[in-house]
Amino acid sequence: MFDRLHRHGRLIGIGLAAALLNACGGGGASSPETEPFYLEEQEEWTLVWADEFNGSGVDAANWTFQTGDGTDYGLPEPGWGNGERQFYLEDNAAVADGSLVITAKEEPMGGMPYTSSRMRSIGKFDFTYGRVEMRAKAAAGQGLWSAIWMMPTSSPYGTWAASGEIDIMEVVNAGTENQGVFLAAHHGFQWPLNQIVTAPAEVDDASDWHTYALEWSGKYLRWYVDGVHLRTVEAESYYSYFFAGNDTGFTAASDPAAPFNQDFHLIVNLAVGGNGPGFVNPADVDGSTMEVDYIRVYECSYGLADGTGCNSNADRGLETPDEAEPYIEETMLFADGAATLSWPTGERQLVAAAGWDNDGAMSVVDDGSVINIMTSGAGNAVINAADGEPFELFGYYGAGELRFDMYIEAAGTAPLSDILIKMDSGYPALGQVSLSVADLPKDEWFSYSIPLRDLVENPGEQPLNLQQVVNLIVIEPTAAASLKVDNVSLKCGHPYRRECGISGPRQAGDGSTLVVLDEIGLEGGFWSSLGIGGSSTDSGFVSYYESGTNQVTWSNTGDSLLVNFASSDEFGVWFVQADQPGVDLSLYEDAGFLRFELKLPQETIDGGLNYKVENEYPDGTGDLSLDLTGVEADVWTSFEIPVAALLASTNAANYTDPRPGEPLDLSAVRAAIVMWPAGDQGGIFFEIRDVRYENDPGAAGDLCPQPTPYGTAAITGSFGGAVIEEGGIYSFPTGSEPWGGFANENTDMYPMSFPHGGTITFNAAVPLGGSADVRFRFEFNPYPDVDPAYDTAAINVSGTELTSYTIEIPSQGENTFSSFLMYLNTMDVGVQVSNVSVVANAPECEEPSNDTVLDPASFTEAFGGTTVVDEVFTFPTGAEAWGGFANMNADLYPLSFPYGATISFMGSVPEGGAADVRFRFEFNPYPDVDPAYDTEAVNVSGTEAMEYTIEVPSQGENTFSSFLMYLNTQDVGVNITDVVVTVKGEPVVEGTELDPAEFTEAFGGTTQADGVFTFPSGAEAWGGFANMNTDLYPLSFPNGAKISFTGAVASGGAAELRFRFEFNPYPDVDPAYDTDAVTVAGADPMTYEIEVPEQGDNTFSSFLMYLNTQDVAVSVSNVVITVY
């Protein structure tokens, strides 16, 4: 069968096997509404136009030929937008024996290896609504593409496919095992966001005669083959979203029949090769013919304006695609003041200010209502982020726009001047359009919209990068101007939900366990915003996030997520996906794993499973095969995949549409996991749960302890009249005791403690609707020995579907708990609760340090009239002023604090009140005390022991062999224990960043100008570039180093670059070290890094750069060495 995943679009192919299109929507089913049947079948349709092809040639009154390779009709490249390989000629079309015959020939013409014909009725027969019927034979052979289709005559909604396209008969590879027959309508946005609703037709051999028909009205499109109604697409399933002019901007067409509410014309053509049929078998092409017996157009006899009413041929039981509508997001940048942009991951404040004041000529004032712009000559106003960082605008190129309201005061504005509207990624990388003041309204408010496509396609010295936008709008008069600006916004449209917008701060995993699906298969954490979804051929690879009637469906069993694949004739993938801009998993790179559990039937094991992890398709791991060796059917099996293995995969490069993919980028993971059956998908299913990314214990270092999971509670005990019903339904009936609730009977969880806080997570639903408040309680022991105890806040549970909930537990100090209870605050509501898990938080991960924690001091000697009894210290009235307490743990001496120290201790005042405590370090015990240091005093209060700390600054080279403690407050007994000195070590240095190198000297025939370096053909093999910043020398790397730089290839190509360190400039070069080469690729500047291993005692006073690739100009800047 023809691979339906390669279903074509007129200008671009769509889809690849297992391609995760980051989108929403779907192709569910509904029964179409049909009008009543009135007329007899033979009276329903009235013939209005026909070509029976009975003449001696193609009728010029009906048809005009399109010739060539497509470039004469506005297409940027040969191939008619599909990579086709024929050159169209009039001579390849003829009329013979009552049929139109189009012949494909193997003959070079116009740079193409084949010829054929294409003709259309534009300007000779254009029509709206009716029935189009033709009897035709498709050209037989691999690589032949026969089509009879329709295009709009005037394209009122813009370029393809916003103004529509209808394919009535479209056949590829007729008569071969790869035959495909398609019925399709294109709509939505202009390329590249064009949409398609399509379906294959089962036709025995399309190279034989068949009758194809379309019934077209303002409410539906119906396709027929050989009189059988095969497909209905209703108006709710298509739309047109287009740019309606600068005053309106992008909008959805108001007529629900759009874009199929206008005149279309007919096209007949035979193509060779291209996106549709795929590879060409030359032996099949030469002489293969497409034949058409007739084409007839009828109108519905009812004469209704929308063409409806004729239904006798309709099959009212056919399923129709789901409704479709564009996703639209508008972000206000300024409205009564600069906006604060908010996301679930954080917020960023915008400011409106002068970007370039042209030496004081420009004044920009945000008065909290509008932006007031005045200039005596040029300058510009900008809106950007207060933090100065750039924004990522994703999905904006196709149908994004910059909108604003403006008021031009005529008296203060040069009448023949322009106003430049720009957006930039940091000057001079920008896009701009020029508005003529003469053409704009004056002394009144007006609205204006600029497509971002126009900004991108009108660059400055460097192109605008929508992924790195610094100034969201730049308003730059070219002469004197007095302007007011308000209601500035960025608006975008997209076929798929949440696939355009402004990216918020990126979410990042902190190295602890990051849940994708929890223990019963509910999405969690960063992946809950979009969550579980599917994408499949029956939805046109539009992703869907609600389980319905598509190829991929899923449901929660209460124990796991069950994923089903419906048909052998379709293909789909299942995934869990995060919102833009994805999740940063960088902390899992070195010792991280993707782990999950699967339960598989034997049929799924036999067929195999594929998986992948993805950024934005096609970038990611590419398709990977899951190793099912030794997996037992119907038994839960744990899988773990090293993150390093995911990073090593280059399989994404095997994709071809729209381009080969790049390897996985851990800093922006969208799809945490994608999975699908490797073979026939019909009836295949699997169960999955506990999907997570995590480091092995200690992967973040011994200083980063992990959270403590106490496990899953078994809340199976009820008391005080509370009731537990079958299925885990908990209720608190009227008449129950106020203290009635539910007890955990999983005693393996005890004792629990939360010195750093913790969390309770659980899944809950209210099956019969409504809502209820749920809370939990921790007790020291079961009643009556309950104290200390802690009651959580209540959380409201609602909805009939199981949802994950989390309750935070604050620090509980040293308290322990051996009783865990659940309560419902709401009576008479049945609440389903499952998977109640308790986790104690880990302490914060400590930064690496060289600090030394000493053994506790022992202040057991009191002097000068002080007293100490059972670690309670007192400075009584009448004691000597110098009275205090001496440390008797002589093992601590001598002490030295070249980088400072910290004293920590536990302190309390058992009888209440407060006292000041301080410490003293002396060179030796009295009288040889100097040098000495006295700490600040700290106030100890309260009857409960608390930790106190005192900082000791650097004491240089001084050493101390006497450690004393004093109370400044008399007659107050202070309990002091655990006095510990932590000696600070030399600060951990991540690396010393040197000043940038300056590669301004080219040698050996190389060239450099303005930071662009070239190694031309004919240059010496040793040609390169020398650093002239001699302040860097001498360099030494006893612990290694890192070289980082910014590189780009303006041509879009690639080049290898390396560096060399030499003892001195040539000829005294040894010892020397050559780095590995790194490939610099792409026109967009990127940061590259090269590691330099340890170089022992070697020093270097020559730093060189070389290009291994000739004749490629490479932009290199900001070359910085970081010495470890």
Residue 760 CA, chain-centre distance (Å), reads 29
Q: Which stretches within 338-489 are classed as H helix?
A: 452-456
- Residues 864, 883: contact at Cβ < 8 Å? yes
d(CA 9, CA 81) in angstroms, rounded, equals 9
1044, two tokens = 């980082």
Question: Taking the chain, what is the end-to-end CA distance rounded to the nearest angstrom?
Answer: 60
Q: 283: Cβ–Cβ under 8 A, 6 or more apart, which residues?
A: none
d(CA 1076, CA 236) in angstroms, rounded, equals 58
DSSP codes, 762-786: EEEE-TTS-EEEEEEEEESSSTTS-
Among residues 185, 190, 186, the alpha carbon closest in space to that of 162 is found at 190
1123, two tokens = 């010495």
Residue 944 CA, chain-centre distance (Å), reads 49
Give SS3 for 324.
Answer: coil
d(CA 377, CA 359) in angstroms, rounded, equals 10
Q: 201: Cβ–Cβ under 8 A, 6 or more apart, which residues?
A: 181, 182, 183, 223, 225, 230, 231
d(CA 687, CA 169) in angstroms, rounded, equals 41
Among residues 579, 734, 588, 566, the alpha carbon closest in space to that of 647 is found at 588
- Catalytic residue, from 44, 133, 170, 299: name it: 170
Q: In one letter, which amino acid is 517?
A: L
Distances (CA, A) of 918 to 139, 821, 937: 98, 45, 4
Give SS3 for 815.
Answer: coil
980, two tokens = 């510990």
- Residues 261, 272: contact at Cβ < 8 Å? no
Among residues 1065, 1069, 1075, the alpha carbon closest in space to that of 1044 is found at 1075
What b/e string do you get for 827-840 counting C-beta neighbours within 10 Å, with b at 16 or more?
A: eebbbbbbbbbbbb
Preceding peptide of 658 cis, ω within 30°: yes
What are the phi and psi torsion angles at 666 (to 5°)?
-65, -20
* 165 classed as catalytic: yes
Give SS3 for 43.
Answer: helix
Residue 398 CA, chain-centre distance (Å), reads 18
674, two tokens = 């994608």
d(CA 1035, CA 1122) in angstroms, rounded, equals 11
Among residues 970, 1038, 1029, the alpha carbon closest in space to that of 994 is found at 1029
The 3-state secondary structure of 334-345, one letter per residue:
ECCCECEEEECC
What b/e string do you get for 620-658 counting C-beta neighbours within 10 Å, with b at 16 or more?
A: bbbbbebebeebeeeeeeebebebeebbebeebeebebe
d(CA 520, CA 508) in angstroms, rounded, equals 24
Give SS3 for 438.
Answer: helix
**Phi-psi sector, 786: left (phi>0), alpha (psi -120 to 50), beta:** alpha
Preceding peptide of 876 cis, ω within 30°: no
Biggest distance spanned by C-alpha atoms of the chain: 132
- Catalytic residue, from 165, 401, 616, 1062: name it: 165
What are the phi and psi torsion angles at 454 (to 5°)?
-65, -35
Give SS3 for 1076.
Answer: coil
Task: Please identify every residue annotated as catalytic.
Answer: 165, 170
